[in-house]
Amino acid sequence: MSPSVKRFLEERGARYQVETHAPLISFEDAKTILSLDPAKMVKGLTFARPGGFAIVALRAADRADYKKIADALGLRRADLWLADAECVRRELDMEQGGIVPLPIGSACVLIDRAVLGLEEIVCGTGRNTATLIIDRDVWLDIADGEVGDFAKPAPVAM
């Protein structure tokens, strides 16, 4: 677990669990490596924005709607880009595959409305070798995020 994330959680008295595992980067890795329910997995996408970063919390299987994210951040779609992994590591003490959607450092948090349907959040810890398991309401309280519709609609089955 990232020391910054651990400090953030402990300063807020948050109750949580951590599961350590082999390094993972993608949702496919997580489904294979973790013993946890993939339906509870939340990914954090990190975007560069003026003055810092935005971390968008989405259910791991969902796809981001970049236009809606840009609108929520007051940016043009053309000005929204995923943050450089080295910058995220240096500024937020988080690595790819371990992003935790919490307002650490200069990050603000956007929460896709679908995440609210989960009772438990399974997400990164700042490191890709450990996973955070936290009650949704505890996470929502400390994430201090803006809730909106930030995922693309699921394709309709024919």
Lowest mean per-residue pLDDT among 22-26, 88-92, 98-102, 150-154: 22-26
Structure confidence by residue, pLDDT tens digits, 102-152: 999 989 999 999 999 999 999 999 999 999 999 999 999 999 999 999 999
pLDDT of the residue at 26: 77
Structure confidence by residue, pLDDT tens digits, 17-56: 999 988 887 778 787 887 788 888 999 999 999 889 999 9
State the average pLDDT over residues 89-112.
94
Which pTM does this prediction carry? Answer: 0.91
- The pLDDT of residue 157 is above 70: no
- Higher-confidence residue: 26 or 92? 92
pLDDT of the residue at 141: 96
- The pLDDT of residue 83 is above 90: yes
Length of the chain: 158
Strand order of the sheet with strand 130-135? Answer: 17-20, 130-135, 120-124
pLDDT of the residue at 97: 87
